[in-house]
């Protein structure tokens, strides 16, 4: 018989799927989507969530019967919740009011306590989800603060699993890797692996307006005054997490809130791939950069999470009309 001992053994080995219509018939390169919704928690974050927990168990910072505390937009929380259920931990997740209601509801369904914080405050404000999660970790008996932004097990997970899978699936022939960037784990872990294999592979991050990531790569400066609120979920930052190694990133492409939403819907209707907001942004970035690719290129674009977490927003016609995007 072939079966998994538990749900955690089903993480990884997600498919690579050729995109045929959403980019347009005249798009020059072959584009292959690494569809991470096939993970059990329906996102790429399952990989790093399990790795961070396993490493914390090894170094003793997460003890038996402990409580996992984390600030999350939802997907990391889902991965942590799956591991917590199997391993016997409690979870407290802190998220922002910008995130879709579905994400918070799913975390509650998995047994987690969820606390909502305002998104339109500075990262160091005591009300921000960064500050609240740190405080709760200190105040909770036997609590462990995950800190996915600065926990380097995040990027190591992608160096050890995501990138090697893509390398094997493409037989090492990829020329570009395109991925939405937030905590920096996926783009840095994969970028480091690919650059070691072939320094000519271009590592492209997808950023959003209101985020400071592109400015940091282009100028080497961290200008927090450039940060402002935005609607896109799952990418962009108003801080620079320690997971970033900008030396392995070649370019950041900024995408508007509107284009990310529209291309997520196009991806579903034209490819049958039902993914989240950041996936739409990633597809929009490719359209914007179309002239930079050739017929000999093999582009891998990573699609982070599932569309079911955005049904009340980008997949809701009334919400899209309210935004003026439909």
Catalytic residues: 45
- Tokens 């538990």 locate to 6
Angle, CA of 105, 137 and 98, to the nearest 5°: 35
* Non-local CB neighbours of 292 within 8 Å, separated by 6+ positions: none
Q: Are 156 and 51 in contact (CB under 8 A)?
A: yes
Contact 180, 235 (CB under 8 A): yes
The full 3-state SS of the chain, as one line of letters, equals: CCCCCCHHHHCCCCCEEECCCCCCCCCCCEEEEEEHHHCCCCECHHHHHHHHHHHHHHHCCCCCCCEEEEECCCHHHHHHHHHHHHHCCEEEEEEECCCCHHHHHHHHHCCCEEEEECCCCCCCCCCCHHHHHHHHHHHCCCEEECCCCCCCHHHHHHHHHHHHHHHHHCCCCCCEEEEECCCCHHHHHHHHHHHHHCCCCEEEEEEEECECHHHHHHHCCCCHHHCCCCCCCCCCCCCCCCCCCHHHCCEEEEECHHHHHHHHHHHHHHHCCCECHHHHHHHHHHHHCHHHCCCCCEEEEEECEEHHHHCCCCCCHHHHHHHCCC
């Amino acid at each position: 018989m072939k079966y998994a001992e538990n749900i955690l053994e089903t993480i990884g080995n997600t498919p690579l799927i050729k995109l045929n219509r959403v980019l347009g018939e005249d798009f020059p390169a072959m584009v292959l989507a690494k569809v991470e919704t096939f993970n059990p928690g329906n996102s790429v974050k399952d990989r790093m969530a399990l790795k961070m927990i396993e490493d914390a168990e090894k170094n003793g910072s997460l003890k038996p019967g402990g409580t996992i505390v984390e600030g999350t937009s939802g997907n990391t929380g889902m991965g942590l919740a799956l591991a917590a259920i199997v391993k016997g931990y409690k979870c407290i997740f802190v998220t922002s009011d910008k995130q879709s209601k579905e994400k918070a509801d799913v975390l509650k369904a998995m047994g987690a306590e969820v606390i909502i914080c305002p998104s339109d405050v500075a990262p160091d404000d005591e009300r921000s989800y960064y500050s609240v999660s740190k405080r709760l970790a200190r105040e909770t008996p036997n609590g462990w603060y995950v800190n996915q932004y600065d926990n380097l097990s995040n990027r190591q997970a992608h160096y050890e699993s995501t990138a090697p899978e893509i390398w094997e699936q493409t037989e090492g022939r990829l020329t570009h890797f395109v991925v939405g960037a937030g905590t920096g784990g996926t783009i840095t872990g994969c970028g480091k692996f690919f650059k070691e294999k072939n320094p000519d592979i271009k590592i492209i991050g997808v950023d959003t307006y209101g985020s400071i990531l592109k400015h940091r790569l282009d100028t080497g400066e961290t200008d927090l005054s450039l940060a402002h609120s935005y609607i896109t979920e799952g990418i962009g930052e108003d801080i620079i997490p320690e997971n970033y190694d900008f030396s392995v990133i070649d370019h950041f492409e900024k995408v508007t809130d509107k284009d990310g939403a529209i291309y997520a819907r196009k991806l579903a209707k034209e490819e049958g791939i039902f993914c989240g907001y950041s996936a739409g942004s990633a597809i929009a970035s490719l359209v914007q950069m179309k002239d930079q690719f050739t017929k000999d290129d093999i582009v891998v674009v990573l699609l982070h999470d599932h569309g079911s977490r955005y049904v009340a927003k980008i997949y809701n016609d009334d919400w899209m009309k309210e935004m003026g995007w439909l």
